[in-house]
Amino acid sequence: MLATNLPIMLYAVPAVAGALFIIPAIEFGSRWALLCYIITALLCLILPIEREAMVIFIGFLGYYPILKMLIERLASRVVEYFLKIAAFNVAIVASYYVIIKLMGINAFEASPFGARITALVLLLLGNIAFLAVDFAFTGLIKAYFMKWRSKVRKMMGLSGKY
Per the rule left: phi > 0, alpha: psi between -120 and 50, beta: everything else, 77 is: alpha
Q: Residue 2: its pLDDT value, please?
A: 62
Q: Residue 18: its pLDDT value, please?
A: 92
Contact 24, 33 (CB under 8 A): yes
- Segment-wise mean pLDDT, segments of 10 residues, the chain, 162 residues: 69 89 94 96 90 90 94 93 96 86 67 70 91 94 93 85 59
Contact 95, 60 (CB under 8 A): yes
**Alpha-carbon Rg for the chain in angstroms:** 17
